Structures are given as C-alpha cells and as structure tokens.
C-alpha cells in the first residue's frame, strides 16, 4: 500500500460516495477534486454540474474557478446562470450537492460568510455563492472539509446555508423537503447525522486515526457511534488517478513560458 | 442604436458618478479593460452590482470608486480572498463600503426580473439562513395560489451594464457564446449598456438560430478592445490566465503594493495594453 496524505484520504473517501447515475452540483475546491476523481475512476458517466451553467462537464484538469473554459468546452450543454438556478436547481433536477465550508456546526449548518459579527467582521469570507439554495434544492448533500477546532465549531458566526437547523425535524419546519446533509467527510473521519436528533455522529475513522484525535479537532462534545468502521485506505489505482489529476492541474495553471 | 466609439468616450458618456453599474461576466468574458478605463476616469460613489466581484471589483474598491456593493460571492476563485474588498469591509479602507449581500440564486433571479421589467424576483431561497436578518432587501411573499412562502428580492435595473463579448458586426449587433452567465439579463435590465468586443466583423457568420445575440438597439456603445477580458478569458479566443489570478493574492494583499501596481498597470496604461493578450483559437 502506498503512503498517502490525510487530504488524499479525504478526497478519495468523498469520491467513493458518488455513483455513476448521480446528477451532482459541484462546489469549487475540495468538492470539485472529489467529484472529478469519482468521474475518472468508478463513476465515468456521473453528471457533474457547476453553477456557471455547465451540465455534464468532463474537465481533464481541475478548474481554478467554477467557470474555467475547460468546463464549457467539455460539457454536454452550457446554459445561462439564471436558467441553471431556476430550471435545473430550483426545478429539482439535481439529486446530489457536494459542498465545502469555512465553519460547520453539529447539525451540519454551514458558514461561509463572516468570522465575527456580520456588521464588523474579524474576517470577511467570500459569502454564499450558490450554497444556500444548493443546500435546500438538491435531493441530498455531501460535505467535504478539513477538520479542526476552528472549522468545526460549537456556534456558527453566521448561518449561510441550512443543514439540519436546530436538529430533529427543524429542517422540515423551515419548509424544506429535501434530505440535507447526509454525510460529512473530513481528513480524519466520516460523520453522519443521527437518524432522529440529526446531530453529526462519527461513524467511521480513517486508517491510523484515533477517536481522541477527532474529538480534539472538534469544537463541541462530539458523539461517536458504538461501532466505528475503518475507512479502507486509498487504493493504488485511486491514488494514481488523483495524483495525475493534480499534476495535470498544476501544470495547466503555471504561467506560460512565452509571457 | 449602438454607437462605435473609443473606450474612453464610451465610459465618459455612459458611466456617471453615483451610478448603479453592473460589470458582468460570470468568470468568463469579464470586462477588465472597461473597468480599468472607469478607474482611470476616477468615477466615484458607484453602486456596483456583480454576482462574483472578482479582481475587477477588488481593483475598483481599492481605488476608492465604490460606495456600495451588491454581490453574492466575493472571493478570488480557487485562490482565496479579495483583500481590497476585505480591507474595505473590515477596516473601512479606502472608504466604508455598504454591502447588499445575496446568494447566487437570488441575484440570478434578480437580473432576470430586471430584464423582464419586473420590480422584484421570487424564488424558493434563503430558507433556514440568516441572510434576511442582515439584509432588508431580502423579504418574503406568499403565493396567492398555494400559500407557499417564497423569498423576494428587488430586481436589478442598473443605470449602466458593461459586458465583454466575442464579436459585433458593423451595425453593432453583439454575439457572445460559451459561459454566458447573466450578461444578456444585465444588459436588457439596464438603462444603458457598454459592450467591449474582441473583434468587429462584417458579418457575425454562421451562428445558431438560438445564439445569444444582443441587437444593436439594446446597446449604447460598442468598443473593439482585443484582449479586453484578460486575465479572464474569451471562449474561442484565449484562455483564462490562472497564473495572474494566483499572482493577485500577493498584489492585492498590501495597500502600498496594490496602489503601486495599479499606478503602473492601470493608471499609466490604455486599452491597447490588452492587445498582447488577444489571440484567436485556430
């Protein structure tokens, strides 16, 4: 078995949850890496959709932005941004959404807006982008992000996108009929919401990770399932595809020698 | 009918101090050259609208042109922060920035409502979030038929929309393709519109009957600025300069470095500086 980094483990574990028949709205960054790894390995026919309007795109390198030319050139179709959000997302055509976050709470609510008070933030983050409506209009949401006390917090500074709200049936009470976050993949573990309370619960650990490590990287008293699975390590084939994808991407984003 | 003019004339005639201006282009065809001209003409108190502020609004904000920003995602895509935007919000530098913050879905709907001549857009949005508690422009309406409560936001009808496109013909009919974003909606919702293009041609050629065309009579000014979307890209012409976007991280971070860079690369330049980036794919 090859050596692998925690980030590689996270990307591979996230990619594995996608299926060939999924129609997936892809967030930029880690979600984009995971979704394209899935497409380049076990789910070659997966429909990847980016908010720039590209439907069923098959980029050879990871886009730096959600609208790189590569996405349009390799897409089945490219629609306008209002059409993307109205007909395809709000219209209920997309069964999976893959998101990242700056902060996540125990009910998988997402903050990507500010650290500190909204009116006078300590850190002004980019904001919501497509996430608030992806989080409520896609059939089901997967979240992938690195885990630390700074990112997995007891209380969000701002609720940008709805997870399970205050827990239990709060999501339904907000008038939302989709499932919301069903899985969180980090560089340490796998979490799933409790079927009743919807509180995130660790159900699996990545190889070599201890429950103490996971608890220490979380800003609340994290719950663990009685039986924890161990995530199978990345296979040689998965690592080869992921590393080749990153290498192609890095080469594509270098300054051109001629300029 | 669209007037063909220089970029300086187009900006002087169509963008005034205090205007609401939407420089659009969703990661693609971003009108960099027109923004640089606006900065050179020292426009002030602008209310800028744009889904993804990108480097262009970082530059306008940092140069003190902006009073208010309506937006939905304010980062450097795939790289990190827009430091000039952050400095304005976090430290009021170079001046305080009023923020009207939305989601992509809401702004996309708002542009479409603007083009449709409606006062507001209605969407199934913002549910379970805090956006409405900090932005008075996010309200709700109840569907008179089903009773469903939906989000409502004001439509976007800018004083001036500014976009970059691939081509115009000699009558000023504009053609764009690829990721078309909200450009058509921004132009049709605005009182005036400036379009910079890669090239002016005799005939738009063999385009699909469903192509994205803005007829000459929907546009105020057309300006030929080859390379005018660099470092973003023009589908069929040149690629996105991702290395430039990465370099912006260091240029934009410190005030002095930023101001020096702007002086050299924007204030002392003209639209011809974009020419070296112009290229047509074979």
A70 to each of A85, A145, A156, A252, B214, how far by Cα in Å? 21, 25, 35, 11, 25
Minimal C-alpha gap between A222 and chain B (Å): 23
CB A89 within 8 A of CB A50: no
Q: How far apart are CA B120 and CA B110, in angstroms?
A: 7
Minimal C-alpha gap between A210 and chain B (Å): 31
Dump pLDDT digits (tens) for B4-33. Answer: 999 999 999 999 999 999 999 999 999 999
B82 to each of A60, B86, B88, how far by Cα in Å? 27, 6, 10
What is the CATH number assigned to the segment(s) B3-102+157-276? 3.40.1080.10
* Chain A contact present for B230, CB below 8 A: no
Between chains, do A82 and B109 touch, taking CB under 8 Å as contact?
Answer: yes
Between chains, do B104 and A51 touch, taking CB under 8 Å as contact?
Answer: yes
Q: How far apart are CA A143 and CA B242, in angstroms?
A: 26
* Chain B contact present for A250, CB below 8 A: no
Which one from A51, A70, A133, A238 is the annotated catalytic residue? A51
Q: Residue A1: pLDDT band by 50, 70, 90 thresholds?
A: low
Q: Residue B238: pLDDT band by 50, 70, 90 thresholds?
A: very high
* Minimal Cβ distance to B246: which of A85, A125, A253: A253
Residues in chain B closer than 8 A to A121 (CB atoms): 89-90
Q: How far apart are CA B128 and CA B113, in angstroms?
A: 24
Interface test with A, best of B129, B227, B229 (most A CBs within 10 A): B129
Residue B183: the pLDDT is 98
Residue A120: the pLDDT is 92
Between chains, do A130 and B104 touch, taking CB under 8 Å as contact?
Answer: yes
Percent of chain A having pLDDT more than 70? 98
Dump pLDDT digits (tens) for A71-126. Answer: 999 999 999 999 999 999 999 999 999 999 999 999 999 999 999 999 999 999 99
| ipTM reported for the complex surpasses 0.85 | yes
Set out the domains of chain A in order of their start, with CATH numbers.
Answer: 6-248 (3.40.1080.10)
CB A151 within 8 A of CB A115: no
* Minimal Cβ distance to B178: which of A28, A72, A159: A72
- Whether A251 is catalytic: no
Query: What SS3 class is residue B219?
Result: coil
Minimal C-alpha gap between B91 and chain A (Å): 9
Task: Indicate the domain borders of chain B.
Answer: 3-102+157-276, 104-154
Residue A255: the pLDDT is 77
Beta-carbon contacts of residue A226 (< 8 Å; ≥ 6 apart) = none
Instruction: Please say if the pLDDT value at position B129 is more than 60.
Output: yes
Q: Residue A254: pLDDT band by 50, 70, 90 thresholds?
A: confident
Residue A256: the pLDDT is 65
């Amino acid at each position: 078995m090859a050596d692998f980094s925690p980030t590689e483990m996270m990307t591979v574990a996230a990619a594995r949850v996608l299926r060939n028949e999924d129609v997936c709205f892809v967030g930029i960054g880690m979600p984009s890496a995971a979704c394209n790894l899935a497409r380049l390995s076990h789910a070659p026919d997966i429909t990847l959709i980016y908010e720039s309007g590209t439907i069923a795109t098959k980029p050879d390198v990871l886009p730096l932005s959600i609208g790189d030319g590569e996405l349009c050139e390799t897409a089945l179709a490219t629609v306008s941004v209002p059409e993307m959000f109205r007909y395809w997302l709000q219209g209920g055509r997309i069964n999976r959404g893959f998101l990242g976050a700056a902060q996540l709470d125990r009910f998988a609510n997402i903050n990507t807006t500010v650290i500190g008070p909204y009116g006078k933030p300590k850190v002004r983050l980019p904001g919501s982008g497509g996430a608030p409506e992806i989080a409520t209009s896609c059939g089901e949401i997967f979240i992938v992000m690195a885990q630390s006390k700074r990112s997995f917090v007891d209380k969000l500074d701002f609720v940008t996108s709805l997870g399970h709200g205050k827990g239990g049936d709060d999501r339904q009470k907000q008038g939302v009929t989709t499932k919301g976050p069903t899985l969180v993949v980090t560089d340490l573990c796998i979490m799933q919401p409790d079927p009743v309370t919807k509180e995130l619960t660790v159900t699996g650990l990545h190889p070599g990770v201890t429950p103490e490590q996971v608890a220490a990287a979380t800003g609340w008293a994290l719950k663990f399932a009685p039986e924890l699975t161990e995530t199978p390590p990345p296979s040689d084939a998965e690592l080869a595809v992921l590393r080749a994808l990153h290498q192609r991407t890095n080469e594509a984003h270098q300054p051109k020698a001629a300029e | 009918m669209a007037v063909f003019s220089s970029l300086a004339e187009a900006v002087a005639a169509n963008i005034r101090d205090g205007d609401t201006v939407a420089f659009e282009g969703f990661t693609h065809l971003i009108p960099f050259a027109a923004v640089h001209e606006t900065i050179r003409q020292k426009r002030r108190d602008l209310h800028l609208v744009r889904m993804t502020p990108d480097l262009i609004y970082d530059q306008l904000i940092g140069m003190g042109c902006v009073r208010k920003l309506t937006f939905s995602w304010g980062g450097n895509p795939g790289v990190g922060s827009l430091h000039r935007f952050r400095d304005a919000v976090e430290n009021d530098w170079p001046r305080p920035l009023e923020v009207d913050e939305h989601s992509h879905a809401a702004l996309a709907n708002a542009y479409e409502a603007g083009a449709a001549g409606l006062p507001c857009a209605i969407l199934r949005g913002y549910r379970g979030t805090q956006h409405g508690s900090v932005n008075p422009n996010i309200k709700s309406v109840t569907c008179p038929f089903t009773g469903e409560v939906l989000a409502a936001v004001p439509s976007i009808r800018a004083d001036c929309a500014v976009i970059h496109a691939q081509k115009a013909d000699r009558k000023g009919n504009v053609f764009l393709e690829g990721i078309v974003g909200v450009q058509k909606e921004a132009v049709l919702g605005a009182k005036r519109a400036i379009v910079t293009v890669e090239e002016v041609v005799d005939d738009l050629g063999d385009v699909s009957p469903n192509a994205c065309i803005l007829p000459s009579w929907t546009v105020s000014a057309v300006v030929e600025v080859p390379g005018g979307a660099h470092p973003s890209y023009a589908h069929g012409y040149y690629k996105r300069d991702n290395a430039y976007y990465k370099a912006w991280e260091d240029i934009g971070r410190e005030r002095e470095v930023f101001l020096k860079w702007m002086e050299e690369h924007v204030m002392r330049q003209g639209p011809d500086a974009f020419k070296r980036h112009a290229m047509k794919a074979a």
